[in-house]
Structure 1
């Protein structure tokens, strides 16, 4: 039986790719590892940020939609992204940095049993820095030494993800019965699940909330991708998803990884994605994120695609 080895990436919506790049690379110190386009709509940028090579589990991705409106918060949505930092002292560093750079943030508190610092990006995306407290991280994660943030405070990768739904039990059943997540805690309206025992890089907090569904906009989260090793594992999960009565897209070749998509019973969009081939499939490590990279099937349209995109740098 295959297992889910943690988060792969999280994808969001942004109204302004230039502002987005400024914040995630120049404020948070992440590396822009891929500048490409939405493969389903190549008129819009698709930007990826992460560690040295954008390793699975470190990737934050953004679709640029210049005409997108504001997010109207509600239920049945992925509502918060945790990012791991090395220590409690790192949280103190980030609090001071956010104060200096006028980043909206709260006080240091706790979340899912960890020291935490809540903050927002310029478009209201809700994020949390979480104290990893020296615990292990996936072996494939590799720090980017070009970051403006020193190693002792640098963001390591993705931690706890929060999902808010009307029907907690339905999502709980998908996570535990289908994917093998362990239920760590459970109350009437909140539960924590882990794909890797004791580790937040595969942890999901599920909150139950009544009311209207969230209306997505700038700063909203489009989907969560969870991580599998290779195409063989992905084919296994494709069959499992279908057997459980969900509608799968089937396997889609994204060139940098292969994946499939489905919505669980509350409407949350999940992607299951492979570790490889990775972002170095068409770039050297040194050149990652510097030029517009297109998958081979879009290369013939390069001139047309570039003409419709606003230069970022």
Structure 2
């Protein structure tokens, strides 16, 4: 999941100090080298746990949610962690919506500092976590990867066709206008919910999600997906080298931008596991510009990993 934030310091402090995720990588947007690209996830950056941001800073224009955008990004938590998170979010002065029930599961929603809506699903089938020992959140209560995303579209059918015919999802259920699709592979991030909105196409900017990503084991599988999606009538990019993985991108008819990224080589290709997120990581083709890039990036201090409260 990749979104657009405003102030980089505020963004990183929220996801590390409040949500307890590990700050995995500080690099730059390869398409805009004077903008940071932050990665947050579990202790190892396991696929299915990573949320990333382009923090545009003071020059960023506000976005506006609308059709063709992600409405909610939802994480798993343990069934026994709900009260912990209700207390923790309240202690950090975060407004909470819920708890409510969706498809028999207990859900709470809240916004990050830029207005991106997040949710937590408390369930007894949450996947096992790879806890980050330095997190301010105790191991047993840490976020356990993505549960689902909710996409807002003007018309369910065209997007549903891409999910089912293009990406192998299966329709599972409908409840209160929410159409649930699940990947046959299962695991973290295997659910996509579609909801209809009467809003016009969303405006990209701070506080909006830029794209969502699926995983491919390697470039061979990625090429197979690319050929298949083209056969489905979609326009798909060539493979793009993102250092930590290789990516292809396509936009479905409802307007949502999707990515399919390879599993490797991973975040430790340029930093050891212990060093992840400690220094600015640049791709080889930008290394000669390091001084100029660092001089133009906003000032930033890696967030503290000390607990903010006794919760």
TM range (shorter): over 0.9
Determine the structure 2 residue equivalent to 1:97.
Answer: 88
Candidates 80, 84, 88, aligned match of 2:72: 80
Give the Å deviation of 1:217: 2.3
Which of 267-276 and 182-191 deviates more? Answer: 182-191
Work out whether 1:174 is the aligned partner of 2:159: no
Distance in 2 separating the partners of 1:309 and 1:189: 43
Deviation at 1:282, TM superposition (A): 0.5
* Correspondence list, 1:144-155, <5 A: 144-155=132-143
Give SS of 2:189's match: helix
1:11 is aligned to 2
TM superposition shift of 1:215: 1.7
Q: 1:157-183, CA deviations, whole angstroms, 9 ceiling, x for partnerless residues?
A: 111100010121001110101111111
Cα distance between partner residues in 1 of 2:224 and 2:176: 33
Task: Give the corresponding residue for 2:255.
Answer: 267
| Contact 1:185–1:193 under 8 Å retained in 2 | yes
Shift of the 11–118 alpha-carbon distance from structure 1 to 2, 3 Å rule, reads same
Q: Give 2:100's aligned residue.
A: 109
CA pair 239-83 structure 1, distance change in 2 beyond 3 A: same
Q: Cα offset for 1:68? A: 2.0
Q: Which residue of 1 aligns with 2:211?
A: 223
Report the TM-score, using the length of structure 2 for normalisation. Answer: 0.92
CA distance in 2: counterparts of 1:114 and 1:193, whole angstroms? 16
Q: Give yes or no for the alignment of 1:255 onto 2:243.
A: yes
Equivalent residues of 2:145, 2:188 under 8 A apart:
no
Q: Which residue of 2 aligns with 1:40?
A: 31
Structure 2 counterpart of 1:68: 60
Match of 1:243 in 2: 231
User: How far does the alpha carbon of each residue in 1:77-97 deviate from its partner, in whole angstroms, 9 at most, with x for none?
Assistant: 11110011112x311111111
TM-score normalised to structure 1 length = 0.91
State how many pairs are aligned: 300
User: What does residue 4 of structure 1 align with?
Assistant: none
- SS at 1:192's partner residue? strand
Shift of residue 302, structure 1, vs aligned partner: 1.0
Secondary structure of 2:274's match? coil
Are positions 1:125 and 2:116 aligned together? yes
Match of 2:307 in 1: none
Q: Distance in 2 between matches of 1:187 and 1:101?
A: 32
**Does the 8 Å CA contact 1:182/1:197 hold for their aligned counterparts?**
no
Q: 1:112 to 1:163 in 2, by over 3 A?
A: farther
The verdict on how the C-alpha distance between 1:22 and 1:136 changes in structure 2, with shifts beyond 3 A counting, is closer
Cα distance, 1:185 vs structure 2: 1.2
Contact 2:67 2:255 in 1 (8 A): no
The ranges of structure 1 where at least 4 consecutive aligned residues each deviate by more than 6 angstroms after the TM superposition are: none
Q: Is 1:213 matched up with 2:205? A: no
Who is 1:6 aligned against?
A: none
